[in-house]
Amino acid sequence: MIDKIDHIGVAVHSIEEGRKLYESLGLEVEHIEEVESEGVRVAMIPCGESKIELLEPTRDDSPIAKFLEKRGPGIHHVCLGSDDIDADDRRLRAEGVRVLRPEPTIGAGGCRVQFVHPKSAGGVLLELSEPPANDP
Ligand code: ZN
């Protein structure tokens, strides 16, 4: 079941530049990590029960690098928090929704994630994320 907006993913050329505005607003970067498989550095900035996720490419052929090349910096995806991503993944598939991965994979922060193609989500790249604490 989906229970909140977990975070908003924002593509940036530089986390060091991108974080400044949020820090001016009194928010703090919780942690920064590299997700090697995605070619991306990720900075999580908690904001109430949601977060801002800054995404900086680490190589030219990564999905974020391609996004920046085509569209420039800006909102990349919206992430919905799930308490059972396998069930949500199955439900979407059963309804013919186009998901990007054969099954949920491990993303930033050890969360299990799946993505819904923008063509199936009104033009929005939708991420579903289940925190690691929910793993059996
Ligand atoms: Zn995300």
pLDDT in tens, the chain (136 residues): 999 999 999 999 999 999 999 999 999 999 999 999 889 999 999 999 999 999 999 999 999 999 999 999 999 999 999 999 999 999 999 999 999 999 999 988 889 999 999 999 999 999 999 999 754 5
Give the range of the structural domain holding residue 9, as residue numbers without chain letter: 2-130
Distance 53 CA to ligand 1 centre (A): 6
Give a yes or no: residue 90 inside a domain. Answer: yes
> What is the rounded distance in angstroms from the CA atom of residue 41 to the CA atom of residue 58?
6
Q: Which residue has the tokens 């995806």?
A: 77
Give a yes or no: residue 136 inside a domain. Answer: no
Distance 95 CA to ligand 1 centre (A): 23
Distance 26 CA to ligand 1 centre (A): 22
Distance 136 CA to ligand 1 centre (A): 22
- Decide if 116 contacts 92 (C-beta within 8 A): yes
Give a yes or no: residue 35 inside a domain. Answer: yes
- Decide if 70 contacts 80 (C-beta within 8 A): no
Q: How many independent structural domains does the chain possess?
A: 1
Distance 97 CA to ligand 1 centre (A): 19
Give a yes or no: residue 23 inside a domain. Answer: yes
CATH number for the domain that contains residue 47: 3.10.180.10
Give a yes or no: residue 126 inside a domain. Answer: yes
- Decide if 88 contacts 44 (C-beta within 8 A): no
Give a yes or no: residue 58 inside a domain. Answer: yes
pLDDT computed for residue 134 by the predictor: 52
Distance 10 CA to ligand 1 centre (A): 8
